[in-house]
Amino acid sequence: MNRLTNKVDVISGDSGATRLPSTGSIMNSLIGILIKLGILREDLDYHLIRAAMVIIFLFFGYQKWWAYEAERLIPYISNGPLIFWLYPVFGVRGASWFLGSCEWTFGTFLFLGFWNKRLGILGALGSCATFVGTVTIIPFMPDGWDASAGGFPAMTGNVPFLMKDVALLEPHHSIC
């Protein structure tokens, strides 16, 4: 191939350039690795749900280490009937760090559950506690229901964000 004109040998289809591996070969390699790790042997849906939960806990736990998130959590923790005690015990930043540590711990247990079912069950139980703690905030969140739309079930403010935990609570019975 002439690199200046990008010509390709018509007979062989060879351009003479170094080729990257095809997408198919990359996927085949990735699938082979996952099979060797035991993740794709059976129950793919189970493993995908577990992996999604691990990623969620990784990202949400990461946010808890920063001041912006500690400030953002104030209305949630202050109105949570099960977690209100975090501020008197740990303070604003400490409460955020505590939650981040818990989320990373539960995410780690869920991840280890790929290989050790007991640790996975601990992670799932911790996840359930996390989601129950946040779901119980919903009825106590000030201005959570839009009065101009008739109140409940018209969510507003912080309540729509909390509703994700209702959906995230469901997969944990299958992870156990």
Lowest model confidence (mean pLDDT) among 29-33, 53-57, 92-96, 151-155: 151-155
Lowest model confidence (mean pLDDT) among 7-11, 146-150, 151-155: 7-11
Token pair 């969510």 is found at 155
pLDDT tens digits for range 125-134: 999 999 999 8
pLDDT tens digits for range 19-40: 556 667 887 887 788 777 766 6
Lowest model confidence (mean pLDDT) among 85-94, 134-143, 150-159, 167-176: 167-176
Phi first, then psi: give them for residue 18, nearest 5 degrees: -70, 130
Please state, in angstroms and rounded to a whole number, the distance separating the CA atoms of residues 123 and 104: 10
Of the two residues 96 and 12, the one the predictor is more confident about is 96
Lowest model confidence (mean pLDDT) among 5-19, 25-39, 41-55, 99-113: 5-19
Please state, in angstroms and rounded to a whole number, the distance separating the CA atoms of residues 1 and 162: 58
Contact, 129 vs 168, CB < 8 A? no
Q: Residue ranges of the domains in the chain?
A: 1-41, 43-175
Contact, 34 vs 114, CB < 8 A? no
Residue 155: strand pairing partners: 145
Distance between alpha carbon 167 and the CA centroid of its chain, in Å?
12
Three-point CA angle 106, 110, 111, nearest 5°: 115
Burial per residue of 140-160, b for 16 or more beta-carbon CB atoms within 10 angstroms, e otherwise? ebeebbeeeeeeeeebeebbe
Mean pLDDT over residues 45-56, rounded? 86
Query: Is the overall model pTM greater than 0.85, yes or no?
Result: no
Is the model's pLDDT at 87 over the cut of 70? yes
